[in-house]
Amino acid sequence: MAFQIGYTNEQVTLELQGDNSVERVTQMHQQLLAAGAAAKAVSVNAEHSGVIDITVVQVLAALQACCPELRIERPSEEFLASLDRCGMRRHVRAALKQEQRD
């Protein structure tokens, strides 16, 4: 699976691994909706993310609109390139905590 979702009290953690395509986004969206109903924070670990489809970015942008705190941490170069390729970086810019890897 190219993503994992974890739950703790009021926080949801989404870990993106490898490539995430439109085929997986429906399952990801459903799991995030179920997990995020009571969540006050969503943390996305994109360190090991590969190429992502625009639908994944749309789900993240929608989470940002309804979640009090969304953080995208340690985005991989492929993740950032995917955001740029589909013109969506500006839609999740507030959630990006570290755009450049040190």
Which pLDDT does position 102 carry in this prediction?
42
In a domain, 91, yes or no: yes
CA 25 to the chain's CA centroid: 11
What is d(CA 11, CA 20) in angstroms, rounded to the nearest whole number?
22
pLDDT, one tens digit for every residue, the chain (102 residues): 588 998 887 888 999 998 887 888 888 888 887 776 677 888 999 999 998 888 888 888 888 777 778 899 999 999 999 999 988 888 888 888 654 444
pLDDT recorded at residue 37? 66
- Measured at the CA of 76, the angle between CA 70 and CA 80, to 5 degrees, comes to 75
> Is 66 among the domain residues?
yes
Give, as one character, the DSSP assignment of residue 102.
-
Question: How much is the pLDDT for 1?
Answer: 55
Please check whether residue 31 lies inside any domain of the structure: yes
The reported pTM is 0.83
Report if residue 82 sits inside a domain. yes
- Say which CATH number the domain at 80 has: 3.30.750.24
Tell me the residue range of the domain where 43 lies: 3-95
Question: Quick one: how far is CA 15 from the chain centroid?
Answer: 8
For residue 39, the model assigns a pLDDT of 77
Structural domains counted in the chain: 1
Is 101 a domain residue? no
CA dist 32 and 14 (Å) reads 8
Per-residue model confidence (pLDDT) at position 68: 75
